Structure 1
Amino acid sequence: MSVPVGLGCPHYAIAAYIENRPSMLNYPSLNQLTAVGTGEVQAIGQACGNGWRKVFNVYAKLIFELDTAYFPYAKSASTWQAYRDQYLLQSDSHTSLMFSPPILVVQRELQHQPHPTVHIIMGRTYAKRLIADGKLTCPMQWLDNEFAINTEHRVIVCPYFDYRQLSNIKIQYLAKLMKSLVA
């Protein structure tokens, strides 16, 4: 069985999959899931540029948009900025940013799990590459040109976490899709 590789909480309920890694410290060679420490998200943004700041900002905005009855993680912060800086990808955040392909488990196998995982694949191009490489084998139902879903495995393909690609309206739509997978 594969080992998840990325940044975030080992007990993640939300896993966002990204094709690239930050080009600093040990991130290019990371081979496990590692929680970030206080200030690390900001340090990555400063060292690796505006693209990474956008990824973290959009991720935090998404968490803040989620229905807290199903995803209570944002309750700990007063704003999405505070959530990003104090909780996102940290050890008890239930969030992860994955550099490895999704490890999928059928929903019925998780009946006794407190946090069934919602898998979010950033970008149609990355999703299609995972499918072509045999690393994403569940069938995806394309809802439109940007979003796809598989309810059995709780997988969503969405635009890349960038303001232009995943606008606030699209973040709201993604939040509704996520709720539909766990409600």
Structure 2
Amino acid sequence: MFATSLGDDGAELRPLEPWQAEEFLAHMDRAREFVDRHVRLGEVVVDLESARAMLVRYAQSQAADGGRIYGIWLHDTLVGGVMFRLFDAVEGTCEVGCWLEPAVTGRGLVTRAVRVLIDWAVERRGIHRVEWVASSANVASIRTAERLGMRREGVLRESSLHHGVRQDNEIWSLLAPEWSGRQRNTP
């Protein structure tokens, strides 16, 4: 019902809500091993209860004008998602994040979906700074930040623990004038 087309390939961006917990869990079961290489989502969503709990947390956050979560559907199958992990309208900052099933990588789905989020955040909500945080080892995520026109601001050395190993995280960002002033191909 509430969907945004991501192009001519049948991909859509839709809100991901608590009533979709079973579908979200089935998707995570398909994506877990791939996603878990760089993102904790694979270890957080492990059963129906944890899937529902995560979606409820984001629904509550959205109700408080905070973080939001959206699914990427391809031909009516949930294959990934994007989110405002953090969203602070008062400060004018947000952090976007993503995940995807391995079977649909390389199609530009995440880049197209994040463009929709950034357009909304900057143009409709007046967000000034959009951030992207990715493990330095997550080359696909870093390339997405580059495609979105973000700038690498630095590396937080060994700033997080993932599967018992310290990892470096890169901080990427763009500012509203940079986004609003550039030509972009959004569906």
Q: TM-score range by the shorter chain?
A: 0.3 to 0.5
Task: Name the structure with the higher strand share.
Answer: 2
Select the structure with the greater relative contact order (CA < 8 A; seq sep ≥ 6): 1
| TM-score normalized with structure 1 length | 0.36
| TM-score normalized with structure 2 length | 0.35
